[in-house]
Amino acid sequence: MSDLNELNNSSHSVRPQSIRLILADDDSFIRESLKVLLGLDPGISVTATASNGREALELLESGTPADVVLMDIRMPDCDGVEGTRIIKTRFPDVRVLMLTTFDDDEYIIQALQNGASGYLLKNVPPDRIIQGIKTVHNGDMLIHPDIARKLASLLRPAAAPRTNEPIDSYGLTRMELAVAEAISEGLSNKEIAAKLFLSEGTVKNYVTDILGKLSLRDRTQIAIFMLKK
C-alpha cells in the first residue's frame, strides 16, 4: 500500500486538459518506469500508482482523479481482470486499458467482458502505449491485432450451431451493421469513417444508435456482440 502514500491529488499536479491516469502494476520497476515515460507526454498526467487492482479502486474512491486506468493483468491479491470488474462497477465512466506481457486467452475474454476498453502487450513501442491511452480515452476500443484475431476465433467456434435469428432482427440497418462489424475489428471512429466513406460525426451517431438498439453499454460490448453473432 506504499503507493497510496505517493498520491498527488492537488490540482496543480494535473496539467490542464490532460488525460488523468492511474497506473497499476505489481512490478515497482515497470511501474516507476512507465510513470516517468508517460509523464513526458504533455497530454497525460499520472495522478497515482498502485500495485494491484484493489489499490487502484481505493485510489478512485479516495478522490484521486482519473480518466483512464492503465493496469497489468496479472497481479497478486487483485489482478487486472477482477480490478477491471470492480472499477467499472463503481466508476463506469473510467476507461481501463490492460497492459501485460501475457496473451492468455481466458484473461483476454474476461477482461473485455468486465468492461476493459482495450488490451496491449508490453512489447509494443512506448508511443503505442501513449497512443493507446489516448485512443481509449476518446471512447474507442483498442486491442492488439494478434489478440483481436484470437478473440474472433474464440467467440466464433467452428462447431457452434448457427442461430436461426438473423442479426437484422435487432433492427439494425445495413450501415449500422457495417459500423458494428468495423468496431468488432478494433477500428476507431476515424478509421471507420475512412473505410465506409462517412464523416466521424456520422459514425458517432451510428454508434449511439447501435448501442440503443442492442441495449449495450459501450463499444466493447458491441464488439463482443458482433463476434458472438
Contact 84, 116 (CB under 8 A): yes
pLDDT at position 2 is 43
Q: What pTM value is reported for the model? A: 0.65
**Does residue 102 sit in the same domain as residue 143?**
yes
pLDDT at position 41 is 94
The rounded distance, in Å, linking the Cα atoms of 49 and 55 is: 9
**Does residue 58 sit in the same domain as residue 147?**
yes
Its domain, for residue 21, covers 2-153
Q: Which of 63, 45, 43, 57 is nearest to 96 (CA)?
A: 57
Backbone torsions φ then ψ of 120, nearest 5 degrees:
-130, 150
- Please count the structural domains in the chain: 2
Q: Say which CATH number the domain at 58 has.
A: 3.40.50.2300
pLDDT at position 10 is 40
pLDDT at position 109 is 77
Q: Which of 112, 20, 32 is nearest to 73 (CA)?
A: 112
Distances (CA, A) of 175 to 167, 172, 202, 206: 13, 8, 11, 8
**Does residue 137 sit in the same domain as residue 182?**
no
**Does residue 49 sit in the same domain as residue 127?**
yes
pLDDT tens for the chain, residues 1 to 229 = 445 444 444 433 555 579 999 999 999 999 999 999 998 999 999 999 999 999 999 999 999 999 999 999 989 889 999 999 999 999 999 999 998 887 677 787 788 888 899 888 888 888 999 999 999 999 888 876 666 766 666 665 544 444 434 455 678 888 888 899 899 888 899 888 888 877 888 888 889 989 999 999 899 889 888 887 6
**Does residue 115 sit in the same domain as residue 79?**
yes
Single residue among 111, 138, 153 that ends a domain in this structure? 153
pLDDT at position 86 is 94
Q: Which of 82, 85, 47, 37 is nearest to 68 (CA)?
A: 47
Single residue among 153, 186, 207 that ends a domain in this structure? 153
**Does residue 207 sit in the same domain as residue 131?**
no
Single residue among 153, 186, 220 that ends a domain in this structure? 153
pLDDT at position 8 is 42
pLDDT at position 168 is 59
**Does residue 32 sit in the same domain as residue 136?**
yes
pLDDT at position 163 is 41
**Does residue 73 sit in the same domain as residue 137?**
yes
pLDDT at position 15 is 54
**Does residue 48 sit in the same domain as residue 135?**
yes
Q: How many CA atoms lie within 13 A of 222 on its CB side?
A: 28
**Does residue 89 sit in the same domain as residue 173?**
no
> How would you classify residue 17: left for phi > 0, otherwise alpha for psi between -120 and 50, otherwise beta?
left
The rounded distance, in Å, linking the Cα atoms of 18 and 12 is: 12
**Does residue 221 sit in the same domain as residue 144?**
no
**Does residue 73 sit in the same domain as residue 178?**
no
